[in-house]
Amino acid sequence: MIDTPVTGGTRQSLATPVPNEQTVTELVSGIAEDAERLIRQQYLMLRAEIREDIRYTKSAVKYLGLGAIGALAGALFLLVAAPLLLNWLFNLPSFAGWAIIGGALLILGAVALFAGKRIFDRHNPLPDKTLNALEENLSWIAKHRN
């Protein structure tokens, strides 16, 4: 049998009370504060992710716009060169300059369109990860609040 220590003629209990023990209300309050802080941090992450996505989207749209303008200009030059080609077939060689310029602009436009498409393909403009985590935390809070 285990004896408890005796001090001054009285037995002392081996189980000492924890001085910093929190009540259930304090624990729930702390959990609510932590959940609120988590939601606030996720909101800030969402804002940062959206800003970054907007920056990438602007870059992609810029290249797509340049590509579309270049392709349109190239197509116009080639359209102008087509009748001149017919003239050349009848020994009128004045189309060559127009066709070369139109072909070069069409190639530049195609390259810019491809670059813009690659930027869009590599980067999803929607903040999926943060939205999923935020939705998950909100549903957890709603479930445990009741």
Quick one: average pLDDT of 101-106? 78
pLDDT tens column, 32-44:
888 889 999 999 9
| Residue 107 pLDDT greater than 50, yes or no | yes
pLDDT tens column, 3-55:
555 556 565 555 555 557 888 888 888 888 888 899 999 999 999 999 999 99
Q: Of 111, 125, 121, give the one whose Cα is nearest residue 54.
A: 125
Q: 139 or 65: which carries more pLDDT confidence? A: 65
**Domain extents in the chain:** 22-145
